[in-house]
Amino acid sequence: MASPRILNLMLAPAAGGLESMALYYHRALEAHGAQVLSVGIEGSWFDQILADSPAAFAGLKAASPIDPRQGWALARIARHFAPDVVLAHGSRGAALAVAALSRQEVRIAAVVHNFRARRAITRTALAICVSPAVGADVRARFPRVPVAVVENFAPLSRTPPRAVAADPPHIGTLGRLHAEKGFDLLLEAAAQLRDRGRVFRLTIAGEGPAADDLKAQAARLGLADRIDFPGWVSPPERLLAELDLFVCSSRTESFGLVVIEAMAAGAPVIAADIEGPRILLAEGRYGRLVPPEAPAALAEAMAAALDDPKASLDMARLAQAEAIAPYDMDAGGTRLWTALIPLLEGR
């Protein structure tokens, strides 16, 4: 098979898990010999991270969803690059690709990262779903759309779990600062942990629309002297390897890539018992699960993990040994390439 040409479309302007996955798709496809052109918003995190490879990125100006100029620009880029396949990340990416490229002979694969897929995917050749739960959701709502489940993956950095906790213990999390991620629940739990007389440091790393609200909540709860908001941390492994406890307090999580990254970095994990983390943690074998949206239960789990560091470290070591190999770049890139082969063979 001659080297395929793949256009990788990501429209989000800020940094986050979805944006990171678009970058990992780019890298994985290059590793399989494809010519990849990523297209995103000028000046975005995606643009900046690919700045060392000018031929690998083409920029679109930020625009409202109803501004046709963004579609015209994408159509011009596609005519020049002549892709065999377009990977369109997220609902906005799929909608723009379908509208802009309908007159060009190109197969579009929508990458569905969550449970909010829209009808635009019915006009694509394939829905690439990041977890079995997302795949089931798309099949139920859009039964005529071909589905391939390609679970998320990352360039995992394995670090031995910390044998001795920091003083005070360092609790942390990472993700887009959005209500869905439940960082407000983590702050409530941290306040309850503090009220029990516990001393700790808390780091909430990320960027997003909830940043100001979270900082204000931390101040109201009297946590300002023990919490850091460092913004987006990339690559994440240095922060994750420093943690004595990683917490995923999300309200919804279709996969939970950062949970895998934390496991690879040797951090003991506590997560809400929801779709993605439940599977990644093997229903509690590789980390503690707590009921979602329950700050009191989360505080209790954090206290128990800190009180029994041996059990926490045992789970962290088991997670590294058994759970993370399917989610590294080699394994994930092979899954992605396999899913795309039917589209590439017909080019």
pLDDT tens, residue by residue, 119-147: 999 999 999 999 999 999 999 999 999 99
The answer to whether the CB of 40 falls within 8 A of the CB of 11 is yes
Contact 110, 85 (CB under 8 A): no
Helix axes 309-322 and 257-264, enclosed angle (nearest 10)? 110
Range of the domain at 13: 5-154+328-345
Residues 197 and 280 grouped into a single domain: yes
Classify burial at 240, counting beta carbons within 10 Å of its beta carbon; exposed 0-12, middle 13-18, buried 19 or more: buried
Q: CA 290, CA 301: separation in Å to the nearest integer?
A: 7
Average pLDDT estimate for 95-114: 93
57 in a domain, yes or no? yes
Q: Is residue 159 part of a domain?
A: no
Peptide bond before 342: cis, by omega within 30 degrees of 0?
A: no
Residue 62 scores a pLDDT above 90: no
pLDDT band at 16 (very low <50, low <70, confident <90, very high): confident
pLDDT over 80 at 14, yes or no? no
Q: CA nearest 277: which of 322, 233, 247? A: 247
Tell me, yes or no, whether 210 and 298 share the same domain.
yes
Would 71 be classed as within a structural domain? yes
R_g of the chain computed on alpha carbons:
21
Question: Does 162 map to a domain?
Answer: no
Residue 160 placed within a domain: no
Is the same domain home to 179 and 226? Answer: yes
Output phi, psi for 112, to 5 deg.
-100, 110
Beta strands in 100-210 (DSSP E): 107-112, 126-129, 147-149, 170-174, 201-205
For the segment 293-304, what is each residue's pLDDT rounded down to a tens digit? Answer: 999 999 999 999
Q: At residue 79, does pLDDT exceed 90?
A: yes
184 and 321 fall within a common domain? yes
Q: What is the CATH number for 269?
A: 3.40.50.2000
| 185 in any annotated domain | yes
What does the pLDDT average to over 307-326?
Answer: 92
Q: How far is CA 187 from the centre of its chain?
A: 21
| Same domain, residue pair 174 and 319 | yes
pTM score of the predicted model: 0.89
pLDDT of the residue at 154: 93
If pLDDT is split at 50, 70 and 90, which confidence band does 1 have? Answer: low
DSSP code, position 7? E
Same domain, 38 and 120: yes
CA proximity to 62, closest of 9, 15, 13:
13
Q: What is the pLDDT of residue 118?
A: 92
For residues 116 and 226, state if they share a domain. no
Asked if the structure places residue 336 within a domain, the reply is yes
Counting the structural domains of the chain, the total is 2
Q: Are residues 114 and 208 in the same domain?
A: no
Task: Determine, yes or no, domain membership for 261.
Answer: yes
Based on the domain organization, do 286 and 336 belong to the same domain? no
| Residue 164 exposed, middle or buried by CB count within 10 Å (0-12, 13-18, 19+) | exposed
Same domain, 99 and 243: no
If asked whether residues 13 and 46 sit together in one domain, one would say: yes
Task: Give the 3-state DSSP-derived string for 50-63, with helices as H, strands as E and coil as C.
Answer: CCCCHHHEEEECCC
- 223 & 272 share domain: yes
Section 36-44 average pLDDT: 94
